[in-house]
Amino acid sequence: MATTKARAPETSSRRWAALFFIGLAQLMIILDATVVNIALPSLQRDLGISDGDRQWIITAYTLAFGGLLLLGGRIADHTGRKRTFLIALVGFAAASALGGAASGPGMLLAARALQGAFGALLGPSALSLLTVTFTQPGERAKAFGIWGGIAAAGGAIGLLVSGALTDYLDWRWCLYINIPIALVAAFGGYALLDESRRPGKARFDVPGVVLVTGGLVAIVYATSRAESDGWGSATVIGLLAAGGVLLAAFALVESRTRQPLLPLRVVADRTRGGAYLSVGVAVVGMFGAFLFMTYYMQVVKGYSPVKAGVAFLPMAAAVLVSAGGLSARLLPRVPPRALIVPGLLIGSCGMLWMATLEADTSYAGGVLVTQLMIGFGAGLIMPVSLNYATHGVDQGDAGVASAGVNTAQQIGGSIGTALLNTIATSATVDYLASHASSGQDPAVARQAVVEGFATAGAWAAGIILAGALIIAVLMNTPSPGHRPVEEDGTAGDSEPLLASP
């Protein structure tokens, strides 16, 4: 179905200026995924939050964000992507102000849930605006190279920003920082972006909304509980089973309804399916690296929050070099798996390098090597995956296709973090049990933590390697030069996995 949209930006310079403000909004979303982590001990003490309840500061955001993404994408398609983008930015800024001014746990949790809800509107609308703004292959490749660099490097930047704000100002500034970013992005977006929307009256698939939101919330919540309760607990297994049943029912409903929330043709395409899988697998490694290296540097090596944040900068630099220097140049010329598969293999080697870490390993010989490999690999993966996740899709479905890749990122991060953290904790406990004769020796305790990280890193390497093998077979999309080009300058859809509804 065709989309109704306003006249495209007249000049290339206007499009690139628009990209700056769209990218600023995306950076804010990525920052918020990590910026609260380092500030968590400080805000926990300040607001009197118990150890049992502290996980909700993170979970309240991820539940709302992950559960509402597909609905947010469809709202953007029907009500206008620019309008949704601007409303989401203002709402995100207001929620951040509420959280920064929180006087107690309840107020902070409500603010984090609101941030997640507005983020679920902002993420799909931002990516779909990028998709409909850049349609020429050359410009599109450069734009998605920048976008992928932001997506991959934003987490490391968030750790640096969080450490600096927490050390030099106050944890509340980790939330207040969103206000100027959101307002600048809203001002620029209002001035430069053109409106686009799916034609016709908005009719939302209410059963689909209920089923997919319930399924995603159940899965994200299960993974958050797995860190404390264990994967074998009845609660976690029950939630995962419920989530699977709800998502299966959602797929059934979507195949039969006339106006589905998520048309199955969007995810059944081999190219988009491979792109979604690439993002999910890559995020497993990236989030695992953020988690383990943050604790390794602060707990084992004794780095301050600021020093730990600065130590992540080489990863961000590697991402930017890889995404801007290689991916953007090669994206229009080679098949997507020619970049994604090597990127996954390099990332897998980076996680495997964690197995060489010892408590006394130098920064240059340990963490730095891991960061450079993971960062370089992510810079190859993310621009290509984000490009092909929306490439060739009907522009009327741009919002929901964008929401799909955001969902893959969210689910991959949630499941990966919980799974790898459980593996690391179990390995640490086993190491301590086997060295019980050493008593409370701090050196043994530090080495036990390192053993946990090394074991989890090896598992993460295996998961990423398996993903690389699947994508090498699944994503057989040719290079852009060998595919037919549609009137809007984008390549046509590739071979579907399933028959389109």
Distance CA 297, CA 366 (A): 11
| pLDDT score for 7 | 44
Rounded to a whole number of angstroms, the distance between the first and last alpha carbons of the chain is 14
What region, left, alpha or beta, does residue 200 occupy, with left being phi > 0 and alpha being psi -120 to 50 degrees? left
* Phi, psi (deg, nearest 5) at residue 49: -90, 135
pLDDT, tens digit, 9 for 90 and up, residues 24-43: 888 888 777 667 766 776 78
- Furthest-apart CA atoms within the chain: distance in Å: 74
pLDDT, tens digit, 9 for 90 and up, residues 207-244: 877 888 888 778 877 877 776 777 788 888 999 999 89
| pLDDT score for 492 | 44
User: Are the CB atoms for 119 and 65 separated by under 8 Å?
Assistant: yes
In order of 62, 96, 107, 170, 196, the CA distances from 110 in angstroms are 13, 10, 5, 20, 32
Reported as a pLDDT band with limits 50, 70 and 90, residue 344 is very high
Q: What amino acid is encoded at 207 in this protein?
A: P
Is the pLDDT assigned to residue 342 strictly greater than 80? yes
∠ at Cα 327 (325, 332), nearest 5°? 120
For the chain, what is the mean pLDDT? 78
Residue 373: count other Cβ atoms within 10 Å of its Cβ: 23
Q: What amino acid is encoded at 391 in this protein?
A: H
Distance CA 217, CA 68 (A): 9
Q: Per this entry, what is the length of the chain? A: 501
Classify domain 12-196+261-475 at the CATH class level. mainly alpha
Rounded mean pLDDT, 448-459: 86
Rounded mean pLDDT, 258-284: 79
Per DSSP, 194 falls in state: P
Distance CA 428, CA 376 (A): 29
Q: Which residues make Cβ contacts (< 8 Å) with residue 278, sequence separation at least 6? A: 340, 344, 381, 384, 385, 467, 471, 475
Per DSSP, 196 falls in state: E
Structure tokens at 118: 């507005």
Distance CA 329, CA 331 (A): 6
Structure tokens at 89: 């930015």
* Phi, psi (deg, nearest 5) at residue 197: -160, 165
Reported as a pLDDT band with limits 50, 70 and 90, residue 440 is low
Is the pLDDT assigned to residue 9 strictly greater than 50? no
pLDDT, tens digit, 9 for 90 and up, residues 286-333: 777 777 787 788 778 888 777 877 888 888 888 888 887 787 788 778
Is the pLDDT assigned to residue 393 strictly greater than 80? no
Is the pLDDT assigned to residue 3 strictly greater than 70? no
Rounded mean pLDDT, 203-209: 75
**Residue 458: helix, strand or coil by DSSP?**
helix
480 or 263, higher pLDDT: 263
The burial class, CB within 10 Å (0-12 / 13-18 / 19+), for 156 is buried
Nearest alpha-carbon partner for 423 in 226, 221, 155:
226
| pLDDT score for 183 | 92
Rounded mean pLDDT, 170-182: 88
| pLDDT score for 95 | 94
Nearest alpha-carbon partner for 281 in 408, 181, 157, 392:
408
Is the pLDDT assigned to residue 447 strictly greater than 80? yes
Distance CA 24, CA 28 (A): 6
Is the pLDDT assigned to residue 69 strictly greater than 70? yes
| pLDDT score for 202 | 59
Residues paired with residue 286 on neighbouring β-strands, in sequence order: none
Strands (E), 149-263: 196-197
User: Are the CB atoms for 246 and 220 separated by under 8 Å?
Assistant: no
Nearest alpha-carbon partner for 422 in 224, 285, 243, 286:
224
| pLDDT score for 480 | 63
Distance CA 286, CA 292 (A): 10
